[in-house]
Amino acid sequence: MNDVLCSPVIATTIATAYAEDGYFFPYDVISETEAAGLLADLEAAEAEVAADRARLSMLRSYPAQLLPSFARLIRQPRLIEAVSQIIGPDLLVWSCGFFIKEPSAKSYVSWHQDLNYWGLDGEQEVTAWLALTPATVENGCMRFVPGSHEKKVVPHVDSFAQDNLLTRGQEIAIEVDEASAVNVVLRAGQASFHHGHMFHASGPNGTSLRRVGVAIRYVAPSMKQVSGDKLLVSHVSGKDEYGHFDVMPPPAGRLLEEDFDRARRNTEMKRGILYKDVKPELVKETRRA
């Protein structure tokens, strides 16, 4: 993996742009070849567990718990360096999961803010979204509304729409200035970073190739789970002097039974958080944010 760290100029640029706009991109993390290697590892694992829907869903929702290659990715020095500029050097990964849009799929993500339903008490959180395939306008890259993170959490409505990739099909209930939105175009191996209050969305994939990105949710250890159980998290940088979350070790191998057991526990706890107050018949197996 590429271990060239940020120059002081880039570090200042990330911190300044993020504070002003609520996001920063594009940021080179790994090479296209390395991104293709991670995608190949994911796709091999998908093929291995394809017959078991629950395992396939866990693989897509918890790759850093099940595949050593993704456990390394969430600790990648370029990612840690950039995220440290935003929320400091002590970092946990609260969750890490894929957003996959299959070829010509109608799947989309409605305008939303991440921290709306996560049950966390603060905003010391940043998402690094790393492209494993190119993210383009045609295949449904994310869109960000610059400066919208300053609005704090705004009201959302739940649509439970079939093709919406979000847990509850949640959607911002106030006007979104879509005309000012920027397209988050990335090459494979690049990342974007966004604030938990950023207004963001993405459209369907109109191409004949998969669009695959991995969303890594970094939090400062001072953050607390105030609704639901505290998830099992990964400690990826610096110290954790708070102990607010239970820390799990990285996987000792590929697709191990003990790691599926942990992923199962995390799935149950995360459902309790993301689907709080939702009728059981509306709970879907594969939604993730």
Q: Closest CB to ligand AKG among 197 and 235?
A: 197
Q: Closest CB to ligand AKG among 141 and 260?
A: 141
The set of residues, in sequence order, having a beta carbon less than 8 Å from that of 42 and lying 6+ positions away, is 59, 63, 67, 70, 98, 132, 212
Tokens of 53: 């829907």
Establish whether the linkage from the previous residue to 26 is cis, with ω within 30° of 0. yes
**What residues from 101 to 120 belong to the interface with ligand AKG (CB under 6 A)?**
109, 114
Which of 169, 213, 221, 251: binder of ligand AKG (CB under 6 A)?
213
Which of 212, 219, 274, 289: binder of ligand AKG (CB under 6 A)?
289
Backbone angles phi, psi at 39, to 5 degrees: -65, -40
Beta strands in the chain (DSSP E): 23-28, 91-101, 109-112, 125-131, 142-144, 156-158, 170-172, 182-183, 190-195, 200-202, 211-219, 232-237, 246-247
Binding of ligand AKG at residue 97 (CB under 6 A)? Answer: no
d(CA 285, CA 223): 27
Q: Which of these, 58, 61, 93, lies nearest to 76 by C-alpha position?
A: 93
Binding of ligand AKG at residue 92 (CB under 6 A)? Answer: no
Contact 218, 155 (CB under 8 A): no
Q: Closest CB to ligand AKG among 109 and 260?
A: 109
Binding of ligand AKG at residue 99 (CB under 6 A)? Answer: yes
Which of 214, 215, 220, 274: binder of ligand AKG (CB under 6 A)?
215
Binding of ligand AKG at residue 129 (CB under 6 A)? Answer: yes
Q: Closest CB to ligand AKG among 136 and 260?
A: 136
Binding of ligand AKG at residue 142 (CB under 6 A)? Answer: yes
Binding of ligand AKG at residue 127 (CB under 6 A)? Answer: yes
The set of residues, in sequence order, having a beta carbon less than 8 Å from that of 251 and lying 6+ positions away, is 64, 65, 66, 67, 68, 71, 259
Q: Closest CB to ligand AKG among 58 and 191?
A: 191
Binding of ligand AKG at residue 94 (CB under 6 A)? Answer: no
d(CA 220, CA 91): 5
Q: Which of these, 189, 192, 188, lies nearest to 202 by C-alpha position?
A: 192
d(CA 205, CA 137): 9
Q: Closest CB to ligand AKG among 67 and 289?
A: 289
Q: How many residues sit in the footprint of ligand AKG (CB under 6 A)?
A: 11
Binding mask 170-209 for ligand AKG (x = CB under 6 A): ------------------------------x-x-------
Binding interface with ligand AKG (CB under 6 A)? 99, 109, 114, 127, 129, 142, 200, 202, 213, 215, 289
